Amino acid sequence: MIPKVFKEVIDLGDGREITIETGKLAKQAHGSVVVQSGKCMMLCTVVSNYEQKDLPFLPLTVDYREKFAAAGRYPGGFFKREARPSDGEVLTMRLVDRVLRPLFPKNYSAETQVMIQLMSHDENVMPDAMAGLAASAAIQLSDFPFECAISEARVGRIDGKFVINPTRAQLAESDIDMMIGASADSVMMVEGEMDEISEEEMIEAIKFAHEAIKLQIDAQHRLADAFGRKEVRDYAEEPDNEDLVKRVHDMAYDKVYAVAKAGSTKQERTASFAAIKEEVKASFTEEEMEEYGGLVSDYYRKAEKAAVRDLTVNEGLRLDGRKTNEIRDIWCEIDYLPSVHGSAVFTRGETQALATVTLGTSRDANKIDMPSFEGEENFYLHYNFPPFCTGEARPIRGTSRREVGHGNLAQRGLKGMIPEDCPYTVRVV
């Protein structure tokens, strides 16, 4: 029997449309949609386990993948199967994650997965601009505790006119490339690059994108109403133990405040805070810790946060002793490494970066091979954040999503300074 399909259409205002469909694919998921614009189609599924984990955070995983079959191509290399995600896919995951995560309840800790797959590619459609819409639409069809629908849109400007979700060809002519994530009421995320536009122009671009996002949110509500909204699931939503909150606060607050006001180094401060936390925990019996151990740690963090905030608000002091209008000491040194093409050390307070630059030929360009885009970068920046940077010993794995994201931000900020006729490939690490 052919399944009943529910569909909503979003008019982009220039002859293009986005459709959201559910009821045909992935019916075992807690929510699933297919979002289509032109020949571009992506499937988004969402699943959240019913078992709550004993964690102080939401174990949310957002996964975005582009299948080479979507563009009628084979993966490159010896093994003809997609492997680890590309940097472009990781950046899209982060775009979606940072808008979804704050909308789950703070005490919701069930394992949750949002999986987005590009199934059909259209060279005139940039799929990352629809990933947030797909994720939110799928969640609206689920029983997850989720504050409100959201969406994301890319805004460009060509010859003075704003364009929603421009094509890659249009984007090459645009002086704005900005991704906006928002609910119907509030802008939640802005990321992008632009050619030295004014603040007023940037605000107008954000407002323009927000109006388009509101239409996408309306379509999500219509789809959920037609499909049939599910009752929000029950989960362990325990109120704060006010007596325990007060007990921990009274033991920790003044001591934390004193350490914060001392203006000590990060290592000294971290050790002092850890000692206070252990002192608080030691004041409880073994039976109490078995019952309240996790809450004691949570409430200590609240007391620590309150003390540090009050110090800044009430006395105008920060953790390292600076006033709110003072910056950290800065020193720099160039040509620190003798054998590289270029190097520099930049230090601001206790934060330090060591950067190198290497010049190469066109053969050293960074080749991008994704189903949605093929090309080369003659300027690229790789960011590394090893565990010793925070005085920790952690497992050493592959490049993290955070490293990819922060490297991309720095790259986007610098690439406009590279001349278009630069004869070199430039790699910064």
CA distance 52 to 55: 8
CB neighbours (10 Å) of residue 79? 8
Report residue 93's pLDDT band, with 50, 70 and 90 as the boundaries: very high
Average pLDDT, the chain: 92
Decide if 233 contacts 144 (C-beta within 8 A).
yes
Residue bearing the bigger pLDDT, 345 or 237:
345
CA distance 22 to 118: 16
Q: What's the predicted TM-score (pTM) here? A: 0.89
Give per-residue pLDDT as tens, 280-327: 998 888 888 887 777 888 899 999 999 999 999 999 999 988 999 999
Report residue 116's pLDDT band, with 50, 70 and 90 as the boundaries: very high
Give per-residue pLDDT as tens, 160-199: 999 999 998 999 899 999 999 999 999 999 999 998 899 9
DSSP secondary structure of 157-213: EETTEEEES--HHHHHH-SEEEEEEEESS-EEEEEEEESS--HHHHHHHHHHHHHHH
Exposed/middle/buried for residue 223 (C-beta within 10 Å: 0-12, 13-18, 19+): buried
Exposed/middle/buried for residue 303 (C-beta within 10 Å: 0-12, 13-18, 19+): buried
Helical packing angle, 401-414 and 87-100, nearest 10°? 100
pLDDT at 222: 96
* Ordered domains of the chain (ranges, CATH): 6-227 (3.30.230.70), 242-315 (1.10.10), 330-428 (3.30.230.70)
Average pLDDT (106-119) is 94
Token pair in block for residue 207: 């407002």
pLDDT at 212: 96
Instruction: Fill in the amino acid letter for 125.
Output: V
Exposed/middle/buried for residue 423 (C-beta within 10 Å: 0-12, 13-18, 19+): exposed
CB neighbours (10 Å) of residue 193? 14
Residue bearing the bigger pLDDT, 82 or 132:
132
Decide if 215 contacts 165 (C-beta within 8 A).
no
Average pLDDT (374-386) is 91
Closest CA to 107 of 57, 48, 51: 57
Contacts of residue 226, Cβ cutoff 8 Å, sequence gap at least 6: 6, 8
